Amino acid sequence: MTWQEELRKLDEELAAGNLTADEYRARRDRVLSMAVSTGDQSQAAAQPAQPQAPSTAADTQIIAPVSPPAQPDQQAGSAEATQVVSAADAAGAERTQVVPQWQQQQQQQHPNSPSGGFPQPMQQPPYAQHSPAGGFAQPMQQQQQNPWGAPQQDASPPWGGSEFPPLAPPSNNADWISQGPESFQTQPSSGKGKKIAFAVVAVLVVAGLGFGVWALFIKDGGTGSAPPVAQSSSPQPPPAPTVKPLPEPPAPKPEPGDNSSALVTPAGTTRAGGGEFDMDKLESAKYLPTTVIEKAKSGGMTEGLLKTTKDGDVTLGLFALEMPNAQAAAAVAAEYGNAEQEGGLTVNRNLSLHGVPVYSAADSTQQVYRAVYVLYNRVIIIDSFGPSKDATLSSFKTLLTAQVQKAPPTERTNN
């Protein structure tokens, strides 16, 4: 098998994808090296030995410029042209190089051509011709129009075949400019959408102005009278509820000397169980809610007094809890209000006074009204309950008014 056939076989295997690009280049260089070695031996045997002048490696090699291409009548006598090399160059490491005529034309047209020259178009080089340094052109490939060393080179991978386009299409196809990475980039908007949007906005503005002119001057017969002001369709927020201020009790009076002088005597018949008590008796009798008793104990209650009567079917009660100071008394009064609300009673603003909150509750069997306030360092509690609403409410109002008149509150924190 000749080296041309081996090259053709390598090209077929590369096109079929049986070889990688590296394997193809390695095997092609090996075949070309063998072909060059064979051509050198045959040429050396055909040429007689020539005397060589002694020379050194430091001598300057001068190569004469390539002669211009010969005319057609001059080309008829010889198929090849010989480059003239000076005698000093002949003594060096290189010899006269036989260059084909078509290669001289390529060198004149392309001064930057590779050292190995360009492949001979449309024909295979003869056996005896030396292989150029860059190798022979690959047959049956696109490189006949794009020889080695040209700017455009087919670097398509061997696995491309017909399924993938070549990386460097032919030079006569201008569509290659649109291929490559830039073809995948997003093209900038032409601005048609913005122009359409501006046009729509302009039309709407003009239509609005025309409608305004018609509504002002044409609709009412050209009188030019201003249209009535349109009422806002959005709902107005409701006005803030006005809270009626609580009635003011009488002004504070001097501090009473003891618990008995701080309380009035309720109407009705005295009930058993009343009188003075200390902390131990308060805990055992459980006159008040548990949380209130605990707050009074932690606050340091010293002594207390209970006045209780029976006014018909209504039971009335008055408590005075003496504390070390006004702050402790205020804490017990606040805890009493919390305990009543947790027990189901609600604040009754219709009966409350400034500084005297009233709590009430009603069910089918019992009516309850209670009040609490601070008198200096004492906690005053007013209690009323009975089966009849009218009787219970009437007795409570009477007792509340009498107690506040006798000893008005000194702490007025509720509003």
CA atoms within 13 A on the CB side of 201: 6
Q: Which two tokens stand for residue 376?
A: 């200096």
Helix (H, G, I), strand (E, B) or coil at 44: helix
pLDDT band at 180 (very low <50, low <70, confident <90, very high): very low
Q: Which of 149-158, 217-226, 233-242 has the highest mean pLDDT?
A: 233-242
Please name the CATH architecture into which domain 259-406 falls: 3-Layer(aba) Sandwich (3.40)
Who has greater pLDDT, 373 or 76?
A: 373
pLDDT digits (tens, 9 = 90+) for 317-327: 999 999 999 99
pLDDT digits (tens, 9 = 90+) for 350-380: 999 999 999 999 887 899 999 999 999 999 9
Residue with tokens 């060589």: 52
Question: For position 9, what pLDDT does the model report?
Answer: 87
Report the mean per-residue pLDDT for the chain. 73
Cα of 116 vs its chain's centroid, Å: 61
Tell me how far apart the alpha carbons of residues 400 and 384 are, in angstroms, rounded to a whole number: 10
Who has greater pLDDT, 211 or 48?
A: 211
pLDDT at 84 over 80: no
Helix (H, G, I), strand (E, B) or coil at 331: helix
Q: Which residues of 368-395 are buried (b: 16+ CB within 10 A; e: fewer)?
A: bbbbbbbbbbbbbbbbbbbeeeebbbbb
Cα of 268 vs its chain's centroid, Å: 77
Helix (H, G, I), strand (E, B) or coil at 179: coil
Could you say which DSSP state residue 231 is in?
A: P
Question: For position 274, what pLDDT does the model report?
Answer: 93
- In this structure, of 138-142, 175-179, 293-297, 402-406, the range with the lowest mean pLDDT score is 175-179
Question: Do residues 412 and 272 make contact, with C-beta atoms less than 8 angstroms apart?
Answer: no
Who has greater pLDDT, 239 or 250?
A: 250
- Which of 350, 390, 347, 351 minimizes the C-alpha distance to 367? 390
Tell me how far apart the alpha carbons of residues 373 and 252 are, in angstroms, rounded to a whole number: 12
* Backbone CA torsion sign across 256, 261, 263, 264: negative
Tell me how far apart the alpha carbons of residues 154 and 245 are, in angstroms, rounded to a whole number: 98
Question: For position 134, what pLDDT does the model report?
Answer: 53
Tell me how far apart the alpha carbons of residues 265 and 253 are, in angstroms, rounded to a whole number: 18
pLDDT at 59 over 50: no
pLDDT band at 133 (very low <50, low <70, confident <90, very high): low
* Backbone CA torsion sign across 177, 180, 182, 185: positive
- In this structure, of 37-51, 93-107, 285-299, the range with the lowest mean pLDDT score is 93-107
How much is the average pLDDT of 134-140? 51
* Backbone CA torsion sign across 34, 39, 45, 50: negative
Tell me how far apart the alpha carbons of residues 256 and 378 are, in angstroms, rounded to a whole number: 10
pTM of the full predicted structure?
Answer: 0.45
Who has greater pLDDT, 47 or 264?
A: 264
pLDDT band at 39 (very low <50, low <70, confident <90, very high): low
pLDDT at 307 over 80: yes
Which residues fall within 8 angstroms of residue 267, CB to CB, at 6 or more apart?
Answer: 309, 311, 316, 395, 398, 399
Cα of 366 vs its chain's centroid, Å: 63
Parse the chain into domains and list their residue ranges: 1-41+96-178, 259-406
Question: For position 62, what pLDDT does the model report?
Answer: 47
Who has greater pLDDT, 185 or 354?
A: 354
Helix (H, G, I), strand (E, B) or coil at 319: strand
pLDDT band at 276 (very low <50, low <70, confident <90, very high): very high
Tell me how far apart the alpha carbons of residues 104 and 117 are, in angstroms, rounded to a whole number: 9
Question: For position 79, what pLDDT does the model report?
Answer: 40
pLDDT at 197 over 70: yes
